[in-house]
């Protein structure tokens, strides 16, 4: 059972709100298998008005959850997974956006990011009380359905190569939901806000908070500590970490970010934080770069305009980190 306490624990990023000038109107909800926090800074509207706006942003996230949640048999993605291996399926524009972006990030990361990982992920029991390792033969069998070449999207028609191909949007959907929630807030005239869905975060900034906001990166090995921070007024950030969903067997940590080449957890990094032009891209890229590992990951970050990052990895039991050019002067460890 996933308790709320556990869900709080997996939130990878927290925004510091030591704003002396104004207190935000803030609400949290459990959605998309994580804790979603919305904070609004506004000195024009009443609290009741702001709360109504937050409600509509939550409603938008709920809509996206109903499309992308593969634990829900009635979601769009579950229907796609049941049917598209047999015949083409017409999908809605939200799924087109998510799949098209996923195809782009898969290409950029040379296959490290791969939403056809679903068949393998189903074998791993990251949420079980008594997890065990999947059988090697089962992983090898499931890997036959992994690879973006097994997915064809033409217009709104999606076809999967067979019933063994299973889509999993777990590495990108939360970021998209954060972007959409921010759009709802903007449509209501909000200009200073933060939406954080389990470490996928986007902020809007006005003079109310300018120069005051910091993004904190959780310490990947010490639950109640932060590893470091950087200042950010408005922007999009996501963290992928091996401490978010995992189990330990015979002193080995098995976590939820899987290498599509092997079907086993990716071993190069322990935490990857990415700044990107959208929360959807930050979400997908943090997973992609986690799988690519520190060196190749940093190279990709440096190549992409508007993308920055902090990569934490382990070497001989010690934590090391790499920071991209654009964050070098801003990032501080604590």
179 binds ligand AMP (CB under 6 A): no
CA atoms of 88 and 157, how far apart (whole Å): 6
258 binds ligand AMP (CB under 6 A): yes
114 binds ligand AMP (CB under 6 A): yes
Among residues 32, 77, 117, 217, which is the contact residue for ligand AMP, using CB under 6 A? 117
38 neighbors 54 (Cβ within 8 angstroms): yes
178 binds ligand AMP (CB under 6 A): no
C-beta closer to Mg ion: residue 24 or 198: 198
CA atoms of 170 and 115, how far apart (whole Å): 8
114 binds Mg ion (CB under 5 A): no
Using the rule CB under 6 A, give the single segment among 45-53, 107-115, 129-137, 324-332 that binds ligand AMP. Answer: 107-115
217 binds ligand AMP (CB under 6 A): no
| Residue 260's binding partner out of Mg ion, ligand AMP, none, with CB under 5 to 8 Å set by partner kind | ligand AMP
Give the angle subtended at the CA of 313 by the CAs of 310 and 315, to the nearest 5°: 145
Using the rule CB under 5 A, give the single segment among 97-105, 164-172, 191-199, 290-298 that binds Mg ion. Answer: 164-172
> 128-149: string of b/e by CB count within 10 Å (b at 16+)?
eeeeebbeeeebeebbebbbbe
**DSSP 8-state class, residue 24:** P
**Closest residue to bound ligand AMP by CB:** 170
Residues 6+ apart with CB under 8 A from 297: 268, 269, 272, 288, 289, 290, 309, 311
CB of 171 to Mg ion, least distance (A): 4
CA atoms of 171 and 287, how far apart (whole Å): 6
C-beta closer to Mg ion: residue 78 or 287: 287
CA atoms of 120 and 242, how far apart (whole Å): 17
| Residue 113's binding partner out of ligand AMP, Mg ion, none, with CB under 5 to 8 Å set by partner kind | ligand AMP
Q: Which residues sit at the interface with ligand AMP, rule CB under 6 A?
A: 113-115, 117, 121, 168, 170-171, 240, 244, 256-258, 260, 283, 286-287, 291
């Amino acid at each position: 059972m996933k308790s709320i306490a556990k869900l709080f624990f997996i939130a990878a990023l927290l925004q510091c709100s030591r704003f002396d000038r104004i207190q935000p109107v803030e609400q949290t909800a459990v959605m998309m298998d994580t804790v979603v926090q919305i904070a609004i800074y506004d000195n024009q509207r009443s609290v009741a008005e702001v709360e109504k706006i937050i409600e509509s942003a939550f409603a938008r996230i709920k809509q996206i959850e109903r499309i992308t949640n593969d634990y829900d048999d009635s979601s769009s993605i579950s229907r796609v997974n049941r049917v598209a291996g047999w015949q083409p399926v017409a999908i809605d524009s939200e799924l087109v956006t998510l799949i098209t972006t996923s195809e782009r990030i898969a290409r950029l990361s040379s296959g490290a990011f791969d939403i056809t990982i679903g068949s393998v992920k189903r074998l791993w029991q990251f949420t079980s009380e008594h997890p065990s390792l999947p059988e090697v033969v089962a992983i090898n069998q499931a890997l036959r359905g992994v690879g973006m070449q097994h997915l064809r999207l033409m217009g709104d028609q999606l076809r999967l190569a067979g019933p063994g191909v299973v889509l999993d949007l777990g590495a990108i959907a939360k970021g998209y939901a954060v972007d959409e929630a921010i759009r709802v807030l903007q449509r209501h005239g909000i200009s200073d806000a933060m939406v954080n869905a389990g470490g996928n975060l986007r902020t809007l900034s006005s003079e109310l908070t300018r120069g005051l906001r910091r993004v904190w990166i959780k310490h990947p090995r010490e639950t109640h500590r932060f590893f470091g921070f950087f200042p950010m007024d408005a922007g999009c950030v996501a963290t992928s970490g091996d401490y978010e969903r995992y189990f330990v067997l015979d002193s080995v940590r098995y976590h939820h970010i899987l290498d599509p080449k092997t079907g086993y957890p990716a071993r190069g990094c322990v935490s990857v934080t990415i700044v990107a032009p959208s929360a959807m891209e930050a979400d997908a890229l943090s997973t992609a770069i986690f799988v690519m590992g520190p060196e190749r990951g940093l190279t990709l970050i440096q190549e992409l305009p508007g993308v920055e990052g902090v990569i934490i990895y382990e070497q001989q039991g010690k934590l090391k980190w790499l920071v991209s050019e654009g964050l070098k002067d801003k990032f501080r460890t604590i």
